[in-house]
Amino acid sequence: MIRANKPLLCVAGAALMLTAACEGPGNLQGTGAAPNRTQQGALIGGLAGAVTGAVASDKKGKGALIGGAIGALGGAAIGNALDKQEAELRRDLENDRVRINNTGDRLIVTLPEDITFAVDSAQVNGALRGDLFTVAESLRNYPGSNVQVIGHTDNSGSAAYNQELSERRANAVASVLREGGVGGARINTFGRGEDQPIASNLTPQGKAQNRRVEIVILPTQ
């Protein structure tokens, strides 16, 4: 007879309970309601905590339950903070071309190239600096996060040139955030060139979507 691994059963149980919590009335398909990011954060944190607890647990699986509970509380706190920060950014940003995506464990602020830079330039447009200062203020108000600034291009021109341009653009955006009072130690910059498209490079519309800079806000506490 095969005996079930109790810690793993605890992990599975925690996953089922947390998933059920995230599938409340506000999240049913077809309702049109936005997903609760706090609940999503609790699910992410709870599963991570349960797995960690299971590894270090005794034979009764207590570690998995404790780890899951602690992880769920931490994940819920992160999700709640992200919900608040997202709502404030949407309220304060005056440019509806700047997109904000809340994934439950991070915020991704996407700056389209055509409003951020002139063609073939890495100098931030003056009109967008105010929006970047708004993002910087938000980052100052929520100091418990690290920030990744990631530049992307389409596939026009050589891959080497696109890589270099994406790096320069990421550094330019990061420079404005630092000018807005964000500590440089919190910011990491990356250039992805043409390697991570989000749309087809076969159409002008797709190319335009691929030319972007993303500010990724990653909570650390």
Looking at the domain assignment, is residue 164 inside a domain?
yes
What are the backbone angles phi and psi of residue 210, rounded to the nearest 5°? -75, -25
> One digit per residue, pLDDT tens: the chain, 221 residues?
555 555 554 545 554 444 544 544 444 333 344 455 555 555 555 555 545 555 555 545 555 555 555 555 556 778 899 999 999 999 999 899 999 999 999 999 999 999 999 999 999 999 999 999 999 999 999 999 999 999 999 999 999 999 999 999 999 999 999 999 999 999 999 999 999 999 999 999 999 999 999 999 999 96
Number of domains present in the structure of the chain: 1
Sign of the CA dihedral with 28 first, then 30, 36, and 41 last: positive
Output the pTM of the full model.
0.71
Looking at the domain assignment, is residue 42 inside a domain?
no
- Give the domain CATH number at 128: 3.30.1330.60
Looking at the domain assignment, is residue 2 inside a domain?
no
Do the beta carbons of residue 149 and residue 170 sit within 8 Å?
yes
- Nearest of 53, 75, 64 to residue 9 by alpha carbon: 64
Give the span between the Cα atoms of 169 and 214, in whole angstroms.
Answer: 10
The 3-state DSSP class for residue 189 equals strand
Domain that holds residue 84: 78-219
Do the beta carbons of residue 190 and residue 149 sit within 8 Å?
yes
Looking at the domain assignment, is residue 193 inside a domain?
yes
Give the span between the Cα atoms of 87 and 120, in whole angstroms.
Answer: 33
